[in-house]
Amino acid sequence: MSAVHALPAWIAVDWGSSNLRAWALDDQDRIIAQASSARGMLGLASDEFEDVLRVVINDWLPEDSTSSMPVLICGMAGARQGWVEAAYLPVPGEQAPAIDVLSGLAEQLTHVATRDRRIAVTIVPGLCQHQPAFDVMRGEETQLAGLVATQPGYSGAVCLPGTHAKWAQLENGSITGFTTFMSGELYKLLSQDSVLKHSVAGGDLADEPQRQAFLAGIDAAMAEPARMTAALFGIRARDLLDERLDDEASRAALLGARLSGLVLGLELAGATCLQPQGSLITLIGDDILCQRYRIALEHLGYRVSLAANADMILAGLGRIHHACQARLVTD
């Protein structure tokens, strides 16, 4: 944890399933301290969240309770199994007027009662949609808000890679719809808990043969998505029968790259079907994973822009925080 020499104006928190990150910010949203913890939502009961938060941010709080420090949280702390469930804000869908992501989020914050009077905790809502298909997101809405905060009026596709990758469509800074793909979780299950675990290993796309195996998987899934399960078993069969493959370690890395390409290619077959080739797609997320998406998308003829995960979270929380403060002044 980094120390502070003056009290922050407010505290931003990104509370995920497996960890949390917190930032102490001044009144210009400049970072004056930051901290993290491995105490994510999945390992906590609802009555443990406040104590975990206080351990992480205690050095940033006033000594007395005459005033409360604003703490704005996004992510899984607002899940049904989290601290306090924060409602989902509905996305109207393509046939209805688009919502203003930023003002909509700021107007629907969930206030959390705390024992410690030095903190005033609010949680950002997630987003949901009912048409054209049921879907939800929690945490990614703040990253989208950050993108719009840094690029006002943004229009186009946004991909947020992860265990459950989100693809959102924005028009003039408003979200019109989104889709979730379980590609990250599917890859983990296939590589660790299926028969393919005997044939694949992680690798590095900086290695040209692995890169080509990855792109071949992308092309195969894009060309024949209906044959996906056959292509998956083909990895095992190739491991057993293809004598052209090198030693065991190299073989496993090549086949792992192909598996990654097949799984991501299946996602891209669904996600890019309405995106004109050559259009811009913005990626927000972990750098290593985003680079894999970038390689695939550029291979398919798309332009790609990368936005840093933490930057978008802070920009989104900052815009939501200040919109909320402005409402308090005018009310």
> Is residue 243 assigned to a domain?
no
pLDDT digits (tens, 9 = 90+) for 273-319: 989 999 999 999 999 999 999 999 999 999 999 999 999 999 999 99
**Per the structure block, which two tokens stand in for 184?**
């990250």
> Is residue 184 assigned to a domain?
no
Strand partners, 281: 157, 304
CATH for 34: 3.30.420.300
- Domain count of the fold of the chain: 1
> Is residue 289 assigned to a domain?
no
Q: For residue 247, what pLDDT is reported?
A: 78
> Is residue 192 assigned to a domain?
no
pTM here is 0.92
Q: What is the mean pLDDT of residues 48-60?
A: 97
* Least confident span in 19-28, 102-111, 222-231: 102-111
The number of residues in the chain equals 331
Q: For residue 67, what pLDDT is reported?
A: 84
Q: Where are the beta strands (DSSP E) in the chain?
A: 10-15, 20-25, 31-37, 69-75, 88-90, 99-100, 110-112, 119-123, 126-129, 135-137, 156-160, 165-171, 174-181, 280-285, 303-308
Where does the pLDDT of residue 324 fall: very low under 50, low under 70, confident under 90, or very high at 90 and above? confident
Query: How far is residue 62's CA from residue 290's CA, in Å, rounded to a whole number?
Result: 39
pLDDT digits (tens, 9 = 90+) for 17-36: 999 999 999 999 999 999 99
> C-alpha distances in angstroms, 108 versus 88, 104, 290?
9, 7, 30
* 132 or 261: which leads in pLDDT: 261
Q: Is residue 210's pLDDT more than 90?
A: yes
Q: What integer best gives the mean pLDDT of the chain?
A: 92
Q: For residue 89, what pLDDT is reported?
A: 92
Token look-up 């941010």 returns: 57
> Is residue 186 assigned to a domain?
no
Query: How far is residue 127's CA from residue 129's CA, in Å, rounded to a whole number?
Result: 7
Token look-up 């980094």 returns: 2
Q: For residue 6, what pLDDT is reported?
A: 79
Q: What is the mean pLDDT of residues 113-128?
A: 96
In a 10 Å sphere around its CB, with 0-12 CB exposed, 13-18 middle and 19+ buried, how is residue 46 labelled? middle
Q: What is the mean pLDDT of residues 188-210?
A: 95
Q: Is residue 164's pLDDT more than 60?
A: yes
Q: Which range of residues forms the domain containing residue 48?
A: 1-138
**Per the structure block, which two tokens stand in for 234?**
């083909």
> Is residue 190 assigned to a domain?
no
* 199 or 245: which leads in pLDDT: 199
> Is residue 47 assigned to a domain?
yes
pLDDT digits (tens, 9 = 90+) for 85-101: 999 999 976 555 555 66
Where does the pLDDT of residue 270 fall: very low under 50, low under 70, confident under 90, or very high at 90 and above? very high
> Is residue 62 assigned to a domain?
yes
Greatest alpha-carbon pair distance for the chain in Å reads 74
